[in-house]
Structure formats: C-alpha cells, structure tokens
Structure 1
Amino acid sequence: MLKKWSTDVLAIFETHASAEKAGKICQGLGFEGSFRVDAVGQSGGLWLLWRQGIGDVVVISATVQFIHVRIQKESEVLHIIAVYAAPTVSRRSGLWAELKEEIQAISEPFIIGGDFNTIVRIDERSGGNGRLSPDSLAFGDWINEMMLIDMGFRGNQFTWKRGK
C-alpha cells in the first residue's frame, strides 16, 4: 500500500509490538520520524510515523488511546489526532471527554481519525439487536457536539467479523 500512494503521515493501530521490535518495524517502513505508544502484552499499540519533509512535528500529548501532534511547515499548521479506542466500553470510558478537552484546546486546523471501536449507525454492523448501544449513542452525541464531519471511507463495508 505504501508503494502505491505517496504517504507522508501514517498511523498504525493495534500493533501488538513493543520496544525494540516496534523500532525495527518503523525504521523498515522508511519513515524518519515516529512516536509510539507501545502495546502492553498483546493489547493495543498505536504508532504515528512521518516523513521529514512534512515540517516540524511536535507531540502535544499521548495516551494509550490517542496521539496528538502539531505539524508546522513555514506558516502552515495542522494538528493530527490519531485514535485507537480500546475495544471494550469499560476500557474506553472517559475517552470522549479526554478528546473533547484535547480538541477544545486547539485553535488551528486539525484532523482526528482512527479506529474508534464503536459505530454511529446500525448499517455499520451486521447482525445484533437492531439498536445502538449507549456507548454508540454517546459517540454520536460527541461527534455532533464537537461538530466533526465523518469523511467516510472506501473499501469493504465490514472489515471485521467475530471469530475471524
């Protein structure tokens, strides 16, 4: 995929790698800059990689569920928040409030994206009881409150299936 399109910034989620192994993988991908929140055992892992030519990259904050960087090249500034939300509601608890604080502190253009591990519409899931969970409803409320825009995606409608 990296050879098909020019990629200056890359976020990788659920890496299952940490420390020395992660460093070798990042170097092998050909990015000069990186910041990693390493996996704990076989759980999580979030990496943000970038090429030197994009400008000065400063890590503003990082948790086990997101990395926030500010990129400046000459007078142009962009914040990127890469999110890998925990796969369980209990471990994700408080994330929307944390991200709200993070976003409200930004006065410059920003992009937030990643794997939020929840849905906002029933058609984003196959099966189930036909209703959104309280967590999904809270996520949708958060998107609306923050006035975010879902940019959509291209590819298979479903990217994951229980047991596979």
Structure 2
Amino acid sequence: MVKKWSTEMLAIFETHASGERAGQICRGLGFENSFIVDFVGQSGGLWLLWRQEIGDVVIVNSAEQFIHARVTKETEVLHLIVVYAAPTVSRRSGLWAQLKEETRLITDPVIIGGDFNTIVRLDERSGGNGRLSPDSLAFGDWINER
C-alpha cells in the first residue's frame, strides 16, 4: 500500500524491530529518513519515516510514547505529534499531561494522531461497568483542552 500511494510521511506502531533491522525495513519501504523510538519489552515501538519531498523535518522531542516533529516547507510550518500510547493504564500514566506540556507553546498548526489505546465515549467499547475510567476521563479532558 505504501508503494501504491504517494506517501511522503508515515508513522508505524508496534514495530518490534530496532537497530539495523529497523533501518533495513525503512529503506525497503522507500523512505530516506527515519526516527525510531525502540520498543520496550513486548510492547511499543514507534517509527516516523519521511521522504525528502516533505520538506525539512526536525525532531523536536520524543519519549517512549510519542514523537514530535516540526515540518517546514518553504514558509509553511506544521507540527506533527505521533502517539503510540501504552496498552496498560499504568504505563500510559502521565502521557496526557506530557502531551499537554508538549503542545503548550506551539502557535503553528499541529496534527496529533496515532493509537491512544483508550476511549472517550462508552459506545466505543462493548462490555465493562458502564463508566469511563479515570484514564479515559483524563484523555477526554486533554482532547477538550487542546
């Protein structure tokens, strides 16, 4: 699919590959540039891949669960934050506050996307106790504050 469509930037989650193997995969997909947050244990791994045509890409910050890049092309600036939130609440703890702080001073357009591994509405899952978890409530608050 990546080779069928003109994709200049791509984020990949749950990679379970690092080091030279990760580099080989990135190059095999046709991307000259990449930034990799290695997986921890049995989960995680986050890659941001891009081609030269996208413009000047600078990695502003990264952590275990996100990569923040600033993309500049001519006079246009865009911030991209790709997120792979840990699948467990305990490992995800503090992520929403981290992302709030990460975006606090940005005045340019921002795109934030990825796999947040939580919900904001009960109809996004089946079963459960009929209430949103404190983590889901914090996620919803973070979305509404931005």
Q: TM-score range by the shorter chain?
A: over 0.9
**CA distance in 1 between partners of 2:82 and 2:24 (Å):** 21
Instruction: Please state which structure has a larger fraction of its residues in strand.
Output: 2
The residue aligned with 2:96 is: 96
1:94, distance to aligned residue in structure 2 (A): 0.8
Asked if structure 2 preserves the Cα contact closer than 8 Å seen for 1:39 and 1:46, the reply is: yes
Give every structure 1 segment of 4 or more consecutive aligned residues whose post-TM-superposition deviation is greater than 6 Å.
none
Are the equivalent residues in 2 in contact too, given 1:18–1:40 (CA < 8 A)? no
Please tell me the residue identity of whatever aligns with 2:123. D
Structure 2 residue aligned with 1:17:
17
2:35 alignment partner, SS class: strand
Corresponding letter in the other structure for 1:80: L
Q: Which has the higher contact order (CA 8 A, sep 6+)?
A: 2
Q: Which whole-Å CA distance do the structure 2 matches of 1:43 and 1:141 have between them?
A: 26
Map of 1:139 onto structure 2 = 139
Distance 1:28 1:79 in 2: 26
Letter of the 2:46 counterpart:
L
Aligned to 1:47: 47
Deviation of 1:42 (Å): 2.7
Question: Tell me, which stretches of 5 or more residues in structure 2 are unaligned?
Answer: none
Residue identity opposite 1:44 in structure 2: G
Alpha-carbon distance in structure 2 between the residues aligned to 1:136 and 1:111 = 21
Residues matched between the structures, number: 146
Aligned partner letter, 1:112: I
Distance 1:140 1:81 in 2: 17
